[in-house]
C-alpha cells in the first residue's frame, strides 16, 4: 500500500529570476513540473497549497534590517545582493512563498494529512545567513522550517540532513550551539562556500550536534550510502528526532555542471529510504523534503521523480540492497568516515 505523499507545487515559484544565464533558473522547476504532469506521475500526489510567510516567521532566523533589505527589492528590475545572488521584481514574494510552502508541508505532515511531503520551492535557502544572501539563497527555508516546527508544534529534536553538493553554511551557523537541531551534511570539499570541515561539530550546548562529512569529487551512490548507514543512521537513532527535514540539493548528480560527484537518481532514492527508515522508527514517518540545488535539468527531474516514488513506496529500496551498496563502496571513504566518528563519538558514543 502506497503512502500519501504531499507536494508543494506552484507556478509562482517560476517568477523568481536571478538573471540571464544564471544556473538557478526558473527552468529547473519547469522541468520538474513537466515530469510531474506525465501520465506515470500525474494524480499520485496530494497538492499542498503554499502561502506567504509572515515577517515574524522570517524573523525567527533573519534580522529585521535584512528582511527590509530584501523587501525593498520588490518591483525593482534587478538587484545584486552578493556576487552570486540577485533579485528581480517578484523575488521577495517568491522567497516568502518558498518559506510558507515548506511550513505548510511541515504542518500537513504533523497533522497526518499526508505521510510525508516534498516542497518543490525556489529560491533555495541553505546558504542564507542571519543578515545576508549567499549562494543563490535569499532566506534560509529549512532553518525557518525547523524553527516553525519547534515554535508551533513544540518539537524538541529536529534532524536536518543536507545532501546538497555545497555545504549549508547558513543552516549550520544558525544551529551551531543548539542541541534541538542535529545538522548533518555531506558536501564537496574544499568548494564553495569553504565551510564544513570535519572539525566543525558545534559548540556549547550544540557540541556534537553538527556533523560534517566533507568529500572529494567523485563520491558515488555507494559511498554516500555507506556514510549514511555508518555515521548518520546510528547517530540519528540515538537522537530520536521528532521530525526529519532534508535539504535536498541534486547537484551531486553525476552530470551536474556545478559539481564533481557521481550520484544517480537511484542513489538519491536510496538515501531517501535510509531517512524514511529513521523517520519510521523515531517519529511516525514524519519526513519533509525541501529543494535546494541541482542544475542539470534532466537529472534534476529524474532525481526528484526517484525520491518522490520512494517517498510514496512506489518502489522500496530494501535493507539488503542498501547493505550491498554499502559493501560495494570504495573503501577509501572509510578514512573520512573514521575521522568523522572520532570527532563526534565522545558525545554520541554509538561507534
Q: What residues are labeled active site?
A: 127
> 113 phi and psi, to 5 degrees?
-65, -30
Could you tell me whether strands 46-47 and 5-8 are parallel, antiparallel, or unpaired per DSSP bridges? parallel
Is the distance from CB of 182 to CB of 236 less than 8 angstroms? yes
Does residue 275 contact residue 318 with C-beta atoms inside 8 Å? no
Q: What angle do CA 244, 323, 278 make, to 5 degrees?
A: 15
The residue among 153, 154, 155, 91 whose CA lies nearest residue 123 is 91
- The pairing of beta strand 116-119 with beta strand 5-8: parallel
- Cβ atoms of 263 and 220 closer than 8 Å: yes
How far, in Å, CA of 119 to CA of 248, rounded? 10
Cβ-proximal residues to 346 (8 Å cutoff; 6+ apart), any chain: 208
State which H helix or E strand residue 288 sits in.
Answer: strand 287-291
Q: Is 5 helix (H, G, I), strand (E, B) or coil?
A: strand
CA gap 222, 213 in Å, rounded: 15
Q: Are 158 and 243 in contact (CB under 8 A)?
A: yes
Q: How far apart are CA 129 and CA 160, in angstroms?
A: 16
The string over 100-127, giving b where at least 16 C-beta atoms fall within 10 Å of a residue's C-beta and e elsewhere, is: bbbbbbbbbbbeeebbbbbbbbbbbbbb
Amino acid at each position: 500500500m502506497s503512502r500519501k505523499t504531499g507536494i508543494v507545487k506552484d507556478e509562482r515559484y517560476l517568477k523568481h529570476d536571478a538573471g540571464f544565464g544564471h544556473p538557478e533558473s526558473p527552468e529547473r522547476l519547469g522541468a520538474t513540473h513537466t515530469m510531474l504532469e506525465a501520465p506515470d506521475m500525474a494524480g499520485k500526489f496530494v497538492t499542498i497549497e503554499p502561502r506567504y510567510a509572515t515577517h515574524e516567521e522570517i524573523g525567527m532566523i533573519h534580522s529585521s534590517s535584512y528582511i527590509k533589505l530584501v523587501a525593498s527589492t520588490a518591483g525593482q528590475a534587478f538587484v545584486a545582493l552578493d556576487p552570486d545572488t540577485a533579485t528581480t521584481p517578484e523575488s521577495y514574494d517568491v522567497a516568502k512563498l518558498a518559506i510558507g510552502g515548506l511550513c505548510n508541508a511541515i504542518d500537513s505532515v504533523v497533522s497526518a494529512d499526508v505521510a510525508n511531503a516534498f516542497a518543490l520551492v525556489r529560491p533555495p535557502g541553505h546558504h542564507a545567513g542571519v543578515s545576508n544572501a549567499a549562494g543563490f539563497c535569499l532566506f534560509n527555508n529549512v532553518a525557518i522550517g525547523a524553527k516553525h516546527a519547534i515554535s508551533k508544534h513544540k518539537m524538541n529534536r529536529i534532524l536536518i540532513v543536507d545532501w546538497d553538493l555545497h555545504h549549508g553554511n547558513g543552516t549550520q551557523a544558525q544551529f551551531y550551539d543548539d542541541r534541538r537541531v542535529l545538522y548533518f551534511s555531506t558536501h564537496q570539499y574544499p568548494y564553495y562556500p569553504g565551510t564544513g570541515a570535519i572539525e566543525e561539530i558545534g559548540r556549547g550546548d550544540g557540541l556534537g550536534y553538527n556533523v560534517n562529512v566533507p568529500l572529494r569529487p567523485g563520491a558515488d551512490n555507494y559511498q554516500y550510502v555507506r556514510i549514511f548507514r555508518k555515521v548518520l543512521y546510528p547517530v540519528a537513532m540515538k537522537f530520536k528526532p521528532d521530525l526529519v527535514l532534508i535539504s535536498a540539493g541534486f547537484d551531486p548528480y553525476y552530470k551536474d555542471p556545478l559539481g564533481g560527484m557521481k550520484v544517480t537518481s537511484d542513489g538519491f532514492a536510496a538515501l531517501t529510504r535510509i531517512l524514511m527508515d529513521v523517520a519510521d522508527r523515531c517519529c511516525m514517518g514524519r519526513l519533509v523534503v525541501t529543494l535546494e540545488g541541482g542544475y542539470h535539468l534532466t537529472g534534476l527531474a529524474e532525481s526528484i521523480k526517484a525520491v518522490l516514488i520512494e517517498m510514496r513506496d512506489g518502489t522500496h529500496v530494501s535493507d539488503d540492497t542498501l547493505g550491498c551498496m554499502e559493501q560495494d563502496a570504495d573503501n577509501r571513504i572509510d578514512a573520512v568516515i573514521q575521522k568523522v566518528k572520532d570527532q563526534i563519538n565522545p558525545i554520541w558514543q554509538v561507534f
